[in-house]
Amino acid sequence: MPELPEVETIKNTLLPHLKNLTITNIEVLYKNTIIGESDVFKKELTNEKIVDITRIGKFLIFHLTNEKIIISHLRMEGKFYILKKGEITKYAKVIFSLSDGNVLIYDDLRCFGLLKLSYKNCYKDDELLKNIANEPKDINVDLLFEKSKNSNECIKTFLLDQKNVAGLGNIYVDETLFKSNINPKTKAKYISYNELNRLIKNADEILNKAINLGGSTIKSYHPSKGVDGRFQNLLQIYDKKNQKCPNCQRNIRKIKVNGRGSSFCPNCQPYKNDSYNIAIYGEVGVGKSTILNLFKEYGCLTFNADEIVKTLYEDKKIINEVNKIFDSDDDYINKAKIKEKILSNPLYVNKLNRLIHPKVKQECLKIIKKSTKENKVFEIPLLYTAKMEDIFDIIILVKSNKQKEYLQKRNPDNYQFLLSINKNNIIKEDDADFIIENNGNINKLKQNVITIINKLKDRLN
Residues 12-51: pLDDT tens digits?
A: 889 999 999 999 999 999 999 999 999 999 999 999 999 9
Look at residue 159 and give its three-state secondary structure: helix
- Our answer to whether residue 253 is catalytic in this structure is no
Note the pTM of the prediction, 2 decimals. Answer: 0.85
Q: Is the Cβ–Cβ distance between 95 and 27 less than 8 Å?
A: yes
Cross-strand partners of 107: 79, 92
Q: What is the dihedral of CA 40, 42, 47, 51, to 10 degrees?
A: 90
Calpha distance 97→84 (Å, rounded): 10
Q: Which entry of 11, 42, 58, 361 is annotated as an active-site residue?
A: 58
260 among known catalytic residues: yes
pLDDT tens-digit series, residues 281-302: 998 888 899 999 999 999 999 9
Give the distance from CA 445 to its chain's centroid. Answer: 34
Give, in degrees to the nearest 5, the angle at Cα 390 between 389 and 395.
Answer: 45
Neighbours of 125 (CB within 10 A): 9
Same domain, 117 and 27: yes
Looking at residue 226, the DSSP 8-state letter turns out to be T
What is the per-residue DSSP string for 26-40?
A: EEES-GGGEES-HHH
Catalytic, out of 2, 5, 184, 381: 2
Tell me: the pLDDT tens digits for 73-110? 999 889 999 999 999 999 999 999 999 999 999 999 99
Pick the last residue of a domain from 69, 98, 125: 125
Contacts of 419 (CB under 8 A, 6+ apart): 284, 285, 403, 404, 407
Q: What is the pLDDT of residues 246-279, one digit of tens each?
A: 999 999 999 999 889 999 999 999 999 999 999 9
- Domain coverage including residue 192: 136-264
Q: Which of 303-312, 331-340, 345-354 has the highest mean pLDDT?
A: 303-312
Overall domain count for the chain: 3
| Residue 409 confidence (pLDDT) above 90 | no
* Residue 239 sits in the same domain as residue 282: no
Q: How many CB atoms lie under 10 A from the CB of residue 262?
A: 24
Same domain assignment for residues 184 and 102: no
Of the residues 125, 146, 162, the one at which a domain ends: 125
Q: Would you call 428 helix, strand, or coil by DSSP? A: coil
- What does the pLDDT read at residue 218? 45
Q: Where among 229, 264, 299 does a domain terminate? A: 264
101 and 250 in a common domain: no
Instruction: Answer whether 45's CB lies under 8 Å from 52's CB.
Output: no
Q: How far apart are CA 199 and CA 205, in angstroms?
A: 10
Among 281, 305, 276, CA closest to 291: 281
pLDDT at 157 over 70: yes
Q: DSSP readout, 282-313?
A: -STTS-HHHHHHHHHHTT-EEEEHHHHHHHHT
Cα→Cα distances 237→58, 77, 97, 261, 346, Å: 22, 22, 42, 12, 38
* pLDDT mean across residues, the chain: 90
pLDDT at 227 over 80: no
Q: CATH number of the domain at 62, please.
A: 3.20.190.10
- CA 453, 456, 458, 461 torsion: positive or negative? negative
What CATH number is associated with residue 148? 1.10.8.50
Residue 130 covered by a domain: no
Give which of 87, 77, 82 is closest to 98, Cα–Cα.
82
Please tell me the predicted confidence (pLDDT) of residue 229: 60
Is residue 151, in this structure, part of any structural domain at all?
A: yes
**Domain shared by 240 and 350, yes or no:** no
Summarize the confidence of residues 351-357 as an average pLDDT. 91
Residue 3 phi/psi, 5-degree rounding, is -110, -170
> Residue 438 maps to which CATH number?
3.40.50.300
Same domain, yes or no: 303 and 248: no
Question: Does 322 fall in a domain?
Answer: yes
Specify whether 2 is catalytic.
yes
Residues 84 and 114 in one domain: yes
Q: What are residue 190's phi and psi, to 5 degrees?
A: -95, 5
447 shares its domain with 301:
yes
d(CA 215, CA 3): 8
Q: Contact 279/388 with Cβ under 8 angstroms?
A: yes
- Judge whether 205 counts as a catalytic residue: no
Per residue in 182-218, pLDDT tens? 999 999 999 999 999 999 999 999 999 988 887 766 4
Residue 161 CB burial class (10 angstroms; 0-12, 13-18, ≥19): middle
Is residue 380 within 8 A of residue 388, CB to CB? The reply is yes
Reported confidence tier of residue 143, pLDDT bands at 50, 70, 90: very high
Is residue 317 one of the residues assigned to a domain?
yes
Distance of alpha carbon 62 from alpha carbon 69, whole angstroms = 6
Q: Are residues 146 and 95 in the same domain?
A: no
Set 225, 250, 260, 387: catalytic member: 260
Task: Indicate if 260 and 206 belong to the same structural domain.
Answer: yes
Are 150 and 212 in the same domain?
yes
Q: Are 151 and 121 in a shared domain?
A: no
